[in-house]
């Protein structure tokens, strides 16, 4: 049963957080529009696609900045409570500091559930439209995927390789297809200068085709200038777009990661990192809430301004830690799990330390 104080603080918590979203997301939209409108006009982006882009932009960026908005909103309204000596009055009435934190924990739980549902099911759909528009109109001509030295394991016995891939032309260069038997011995190898998806005929066209079939100690070689054939893979799956993991929901992402592990994808850590960050986001809401309350519940000489300044500094340090360990996981083989755990453990310890000081 919530007391009057619980309802009062919880109402301020949720109202301030909502106000932060309503204030800053439109500002973000206007800044982005001012920056990108020239590219939209130059690339003749249709109005309906621009509107949908900003709908997706609102969901995508809002979810990305949820923890920061939450952090600043808690500091803002708690500092007001402290400056008005309301916190002193609450604690002087016999309420323990732990009991005082209860509405904050309830509020953080509500936000965490919302963040979990959004990041697992709603944001992936928004990410599709957001990124497709970005690479179609705002980063036109820039590659959104790996296009060189692409290796894929299709199943237990089939392997493919292309030295380079042009997704716009559906064309791969220096193509190789190898099949091994149950004894892990080469069954046959197909090589071609180019492989192209022929949409009209729903098949693949190989140029400078050569097939080497191995039967015991004998090898048979077949070659043709051009060959149209069918393979059991989609040429678009040779190299997924760089943001593909962001477009998968909770269940699709697990399946996608298993499939990429089987194929031996070189950037598997990027996909795993996205998964762990999603699961850690609700926990981040609790950690940042506790830090914000600890920082702002004590009345200081600088008032709200000092609390906000300190809070913004903490927020930037958290983002820095998160980015540094994220880059390490993506580019150096550092464990994606540790890349997510370390920033949260460090700031969880900071939250505990600040809470102990605030109680005193």
Domain count, the chain: 2
248 within a domain of the structure (yes/no): no
Q: Give yes or no: residues 106 and 158 share one domain.
A: no
* Across 142-151, average pLDDT: 70
185 within a domain of the structure (yes/no): yes
Cα separations in angstroms, 226 against 167, 172, 191: 21, 15, 12
Reading the block at residue 116, the tokens are: 């979990």
Helix/strand/coil for 324: helix
pLDDT tens digits, 2-57: 788 889 999 999 999 999 888 888 999 999 999 999 999 998 999 999 999 999 99
Helix (H) or strand (E) holding 12: helix 4-42
125, pLDDT greater than 90 = yes
| The predicted structure's pLDDT at residue 41 | 92
Contact indicator for 240, 274 with CB cutoff of 8 Å: no
| The predicted structure's pLDDT at residue 336 | 93
| The predicted structure's pLDDT at residue 231 | 86
Give the Cβ contact number of residue 355 at 10 Å. 18
304, pLDDT greater than 90 = no
| The predicted structure's pLDDT at residue 113 | 92
Q: Give yes or no: residues 165 and 115 share one domain.
A: no
252 within a domain of the structure (yes/no): no
Q: Give yes or no: residues 220 and 300 share one domain.
A: no
Residue with more model confidence, 118 or 67:
118
Band of residue 275 on the pLDDT scale cut at 50, 70, 90: very high
| The predicted structure's pLDDT at residue 223 | 92
Q: Give yes or no: residues 15 and 117 share one domain.
A: yes
Could you give the CA distance from residue 127 to residue 61 in angstroms, rounded to a whole number?
10
Give the contacts of 138 (CB within 8 A, at least 6 positions apart): 36, 39, 40, 43
Q: Give yes or no: residues 198 and 314 share one domain.
A: no
Residue whose C-alpha is closest to residue 101's, from 355, 321, 283: 355
244 within a domain of the structure (yes/no): no
Band of residue 174 on the pLDDT scale cut at 50, 70, 90: very high
∠ CA 263-122-339 to the nearest 5 degrees? 55
In terms of Cβ atoms closer than 10 Å to its own Cβ (0-12, 13-18, 19+), residue 51 is exposed
Q: Give yes or no: residues 103 and 166 share one domain.
A: no
Q: Give yes or no: residues 153 and 125 share one domain.
A: no
For CA atoms 182, 187, 193, 194, the dihedral sign is negative
Q: Give yes or no: residues 36 and 113 share one domain.
A: yes
| The predicted structure's pLDDT at residue 170 | 80
232 within a domain of the structure (yes/no): yes
**181: domain range?**
146-236
Could you give the CA distance from residue 132 to residue 85 in angstroms, rounded to a whole number?
51
Q: What SS3 string covers 344-360?
A: HHHHHHHHHHHHHHHHC
Which of 50-54, 181-185, 261-265, 321-325 ranks highest by mean pLDDT? 50-54
Report the mean per-residue pLDDT for the chain: 87
85 within a domain of the structure (yes/no): yes
Q: Give yes or no: residues 73 and 111 share one domain.
A: yes
pLDDT tens digits, 197-207: 886 665 899 99
Helix/strand/coil for 54: helix
Could you give the CA distance from residue 282 to residue 251 in angstroms, rounded to a whole number?
18
256 within a domain of the structure (yes/no): no
pTM: 0.80
Q: Give yes or no: residues 159 and 130 share one domain.
A: no
| The predicted structure's pLDDT at residue 127 | 93
pLDDT tens digits, 190-228: 999 999 888 666 589 999 999 999 887 788 899 999 999
237, pLDDT greater than 70 = no
Bridge-partner residues for 339, per DSSP?
none
Q: Give yes or no: residues 77 and 203 share one domain.
A: no
Q: Give yes or no: residues 112 and 10 share one domain.
A: yes
| The predicted structure's pLDDT at residue 243 | 83
Report the percentage of the chain scoring pLDDT > 90.
Answer: 42
352, pLDDT greater than 80 = yes
| The predicted structure's pLDDT at residue 330 | 84
* Across 297-301, average pLDDT: 76
Contact indicator for 66, 286 with CB cutoff of 8 Å: no
* Across 116-145, average pLDDT: 86
Q: Helix, strand, coil % (nearest 5) of the chain?
A: 65, 20, 20
251 within a domain of the structure (yes/no): no
Give the contacts of 94 (CB within 8 A, at least 6 positions apart): none
Residue whose C-alpha is closest to residue 292's, from 29, 27, 25, 20: 20
């Amino acid at each position: 049963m919530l007391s009057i104080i619980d309802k009062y603080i919880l109402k301020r918590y949720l109202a301030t957080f909502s106000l932060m979203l309503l204030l800053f997301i439109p500002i973000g939209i206007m800044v982005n529009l001012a920056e990108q409108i020239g590219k939209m006009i130059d690339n003749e982006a249709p109005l309906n696609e621009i509107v949908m882009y900003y709908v997706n932009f609102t969901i995508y960026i809002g979810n990305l900045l949820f923890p920061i908005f939450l952090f600043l909103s808690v500091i803002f309204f708690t500092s007001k409570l402290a400056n008005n000596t309301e916190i002193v009055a609450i604690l002087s009435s016999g309420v323990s500091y732990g009991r005082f934190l209860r509405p904050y924990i309830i509020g953080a739980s509500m936000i965490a559930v919302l963040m979990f549902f959004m990041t697992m099911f709603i944001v992936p759909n928004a990410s599709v439209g957001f990124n497709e528009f970005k690479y179609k109109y705002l980063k036109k001509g820039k590659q959104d995927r790996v296009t060189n030295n692409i290796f894929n394991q299709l199943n237990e016995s089939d392997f493919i390789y292309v030295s380079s891939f042009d997704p716009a032309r559906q064309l791969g260069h220096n193509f190789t297809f190898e099949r091994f038997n149950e004894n892990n011995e080469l069954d046959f190898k197909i090589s071609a200068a180019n492989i192209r998806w022929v949409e009209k005929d729903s098949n693949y066209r190989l140029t400078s085709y050569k097939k080497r079939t191995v039967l015991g100690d004998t090898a048979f070689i077949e070659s043709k200038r051009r060959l149209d054939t069918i393979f059991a893979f989609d040429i678009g799956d040779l190299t997924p777009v760089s943001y593909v993991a962001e477009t998968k929901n909770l269940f699709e992402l697990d399946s996608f990661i298993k499939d990429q592990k089987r194929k031996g994808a070189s950037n598997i850590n990027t996909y795993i990192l996205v998964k762990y960050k999603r699961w850690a986001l609700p926990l981040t809401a609790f950690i940042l809430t506790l830090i914000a309350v600890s920082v702002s519940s004590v009345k200081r000489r600088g008032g709200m301004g000092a609390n906000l300044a300190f809070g913004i500094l903490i927020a930037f340090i958290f983002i820095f830690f998160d980015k540094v360990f994220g880059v390490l996981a993506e580019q150096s083989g550092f464990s994606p799990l540790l890349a997510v755990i370390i920033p949260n453990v460090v700031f969880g310890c900071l939250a505990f330390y600040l809470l102990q000081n605030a109680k005193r």
